[in-house]
C-alpha cells in the first residue's frame, strides 16, 4: 500500500480556487512528486426564493438567489519538502483547504 496526502479545496470563488490548485500543482511539478488532480467534484447549489412583496399583497413575484460551492480534490505523494511548501502557501480567506494523510 502506498501512502498519499489528499487535499480538498472548497470555495464559492472559482477563480481563487483554481489559482490555489494551480499553485499546488506547480509545487509538486517542481519537486518531482506524483499528483492526481485537481479533479473537480460536483458543484453544490444553495438556492433561496423569497417573495418580493413584504406584506403578501399584490402580484406574486419572487426573488431568486443562488450560492455555488465549488470543490476540487488532489492526491499527492507526501514528500517532506513538498508538504512544507504547501503548508506555507498563502490561502485566500474564502477558500477552505482540508489536508488528510492516508495509507
d(CA 88, CA 28): 14
Domains, the chain: 4-102 (3.30.70.600)
DSSP 28: H
Q: Residue-wise pLDDT tens for the chain (103 aa)?
A: 489 999 999 999 999 999 999 999 999 999 999 999 899 999 999 999 988 888 777 788 899 999 999 999 999 998 899 999 999 999 999 999 999 998 7
Beta bridge partners of 45: 68
d(CA 33, CA 24): 11
Is the N-terminal amide bond of 83 cis, ω within 30° of 0?
Answer: no
- pTM, two decimals, is 0.85
Q: Angle at which helices 80-87 and 14-31 pack, to 10 degrees?
A: 150
Amino acid at each position: 500500500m502506498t501512502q498519499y496526502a489528499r487535499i480538498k479545496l472548497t470555495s464559492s470563488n472559482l477563480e481563487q480556487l483554481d489559482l490555489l490548485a494551480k499553485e499546488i500543482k506547480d509545487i509538486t511539478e517542481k519537486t518531482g512528486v506524483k499528483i492526481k488532480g485537481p479533479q473537480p467534484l460536483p458543484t453544490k447549489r444553495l438556492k433561496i426564493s423569497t417573495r418580493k412583496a413584504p406584506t403578501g399583497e399584490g402580484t406574486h413575484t419572487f426573488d431568486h438567489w443562488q450560492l455555488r460551492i465549488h470543490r476540487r480534490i488532489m492526491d499527492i505523494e507526501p514528500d517532506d519538502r513538498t508538504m512544507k511548501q504547501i503548508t506555507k502557501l498563502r490561502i485566500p480567506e474564502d477558500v477552505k483547504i482540508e489536508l488528510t494523510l492516508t495509507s
